[in-house]
């Protein structure tokens, strides 16, 4: 049975996912990019204080308590250091005055200003002078509080590379003092695409977590959906592609309750109890998919959402329209020829044309040998396809490799079961 401290730790961890990004955003808007570490320190202080104070009594509104604590600390820092430190240019003059500093900070901590600050932060992290990979890494770290290992998993990279990317990105934004604003015109479109991709990766890390103990991290998935909806609530950032992403994430999230059994073991799509699917969330996603149509543009999120919608509306696994799904994957591959898209398309090819054809397609993916040795999903899928083919030797070889590569206990258990089927 978890202790009171365990419950507090769990609560603060959950709140960190939902609130830290907002807090860092509004504090950076006050302190300026050059003081990004100071903003992060204030957030850490607030959560550290929560861990101590909440041992005696958890406040009725813990999110508001954290924001209030961060706000009070920000006011204290500005008053003490307004002559020693340069703050954000937007309000620099007002922050130096004893009479206007506190009211300005109070205003920036209002709900609509917090949302505006977070949008500004997301778009600032996605500055075009940074490489796309650096943009994504910085956004995942700064706006959603993902750790280095989680970011490495999301970007199919390793910890050292991610550390260097983050350092390079932080050095750039602090040295250049980039605008903390939402861009306009063509600049908005370019950066919006990266923002949407980043939100997609946040969700994906929650949906197939790299965390050893949790295959599904609902807090990350909820945060990704919240950020996507946030984009649609601003007249400058709202776009059909945002609606398509919301549709995709909502349809995927609808399966949460059916993906694990009572022992925490993975339940494959074909074995899931579709009565456990969240049909309200399915309808929510289908409404956003319909809303996303007609904007004169089709992006990969439209196609991925349409693919998941085919699964979500099938009465059972046997009624799945694999031919329709394969046609959608053919279109998706023209837009995004990434190894993961190629792998997923190969799985569908296996459903339509058999496992041998799917195996041939996977082995033709560029740098497949490297991917097989570094990313568990590739050997895991190959092991399953060879199992379907009746090739027990290759199946065991790839499944064993996948077990070594995955950090998830649930994934390991599933793969072990498949190897046991081979020997049985």
Which segments of 54-184 does DSSP mark as H helices, in order?
A: 62-81, 92-95, 101-108, 111-125, 132-144, 148-154, 159-176
CATH number of the domain where residue 379 is located: 1.25.40.10
Share in percent of the chain as helix, strand, coil (round to 5) = 75, 0, 25
How far apart, in whole angstroms, are the C-alpha atoms of residue 231 and residue 242? 7
Owner of token pair 């509306």: 313
Average pLDDT value for the chain: 89
Residue that finishes a domain, picked among 76, 92, 109? 109
**Which of 84, 109, 134 delimits the end of a domain?**
109
pLDDT tens-digit map of 282-296: 999 999 999 999 777
Cα distance between residue 180 and residue 322, in whole Å:
46
In a domain, 24, yes or no: yes
Q: Is residue 295 part of a domain?
A: no
Distance CA 298, CA 302 (A): 6
pLDDT at 377: 93
Evaluate if residue 211 carries a pLDDT over 60.
no
219 burial (CB, 10 Å; 0-12 / 13-18 / 19+) is middle
Give the pLDDT score at 208.
76
CA angle, 47 then 91 then 46, to 5°: 5
**Average pLDDT, integer, range 251-277:** 90
Q: Please name the residues in contact with 120: beta carbons below 8 A apart, sequence gap of 6 or more.
A: 25, 29, 180, 181, 182
CA distances from 172 to 8, 30, 40, 86, 125 (A): 37, 19, 17, 18, 10
List, in sequence order, every residue forming a beta bridge with 260; answer none if it has no partner.
266
Summarize pLDDT for 30-78 with one digit per residue, the tens.
998 888 889 999 999 999 999 999 988 899 999 999 999 999 999 999 9
Q: Would you state the pLDDT for residue 323?
A: 97
| Domain assignment present for 95 | yes
Mean of the pLDDT values across residues 114-126?
Answer: 90
In the structure encoding, which two tokens stand for residue 169, read together? 């990105």
In a domain, 382, yes or no: yes
What's the predicted TM-score (pTM) here?
Answer: 0.81
State which residues form the domain around 385.
354-424
pLDDT above 70 for 18: yes
Last residue of a domain, one of 61, 82, 109: 109
Max mean pLDDT range (3-17, 216-230, 297-311):
297-311
């Amino acid at each position: 049975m978890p202790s009171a401290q365990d419950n507090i730790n769990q609560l603060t961890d959950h709140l960190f996912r939902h609130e830290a990004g907002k807090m860092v955003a509004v504090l950076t808007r006050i302190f300026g990019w050059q003081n990004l570490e100071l903003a992060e320190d204030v957030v850490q202080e607030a959560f550290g204080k929560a861990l101590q104070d909440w041992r005696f009594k958890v406040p009725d509104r813990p999110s508001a308590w954290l924001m209030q604590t961060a706000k009070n600390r920000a006011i204290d820092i500005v008053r003490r250091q307004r002559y020693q430190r340069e703050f954000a240019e937007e309000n620099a003059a007002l922050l130096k005055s004893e009479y206007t500093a506190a009211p300005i900070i109070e205003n920036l901590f209002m709900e609509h200003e917090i949302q505006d600050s977070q949008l500004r932060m997301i778009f600032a992290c996605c500055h075009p002078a940074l490489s796309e990979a650096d943009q994504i890494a910085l956004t995942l770290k700064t706006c959603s509080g993902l750790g280095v290992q989680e970011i490495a998993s999301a970007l199919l990279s390793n910890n050292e590379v991610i550390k260097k990317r983050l350092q390079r990105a932080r050095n750039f934004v602090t040295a250049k003092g980039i605008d903390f604003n939402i861009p306009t015109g063509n600049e908005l479109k370019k950066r919006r695409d990266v923002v949407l991709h980043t939100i997609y990766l946040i969700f994906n890390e929650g949906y197939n977590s790299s965390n050893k103990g949790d295959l599904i991290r609902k807090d990350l998935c909820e945060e990704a959906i919240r950020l996507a909806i946030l984009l649609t609530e601003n007249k400058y950032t709202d776009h059909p592609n945002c609606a398509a992403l919301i549709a995709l994430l909502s349809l995927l999230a609808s399966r949460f309750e059916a993906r694990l059994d009572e022992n925490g073991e993975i339940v494959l799509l074909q074995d899931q109890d579709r009565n456990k699917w969240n049909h309200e969330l399915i309808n929510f996603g289908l409404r956003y998919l319909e809303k996303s149509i007609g904007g004169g543009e089709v992006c990969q999120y439209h196609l991925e959402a349409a693919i998941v919608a085919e699964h979500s509306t099938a009465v059972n696994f046997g009624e799945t329209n694999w031919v329709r799904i394969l046609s959608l994957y053919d279109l998706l591959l023209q837009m995004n020829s990434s190894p993961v898209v190629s792998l997923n398309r190969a799985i569908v090819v296996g459903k339509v044309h058999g496992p041998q054809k799917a195996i041939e397609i996977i082995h033709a993916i560029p740098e497949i040998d490297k991917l097989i040795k570094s990313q568990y999903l590739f050997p895991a899928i190959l092991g399953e396809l060879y199992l379907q083919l009746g090739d027990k030797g290759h199946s065991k070889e790839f499944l064993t490799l996948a077990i070594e590569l995955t950090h998830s206990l649930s994934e390991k258990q599933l793969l072990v079961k498949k190897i046991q089927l081979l020997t049985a």
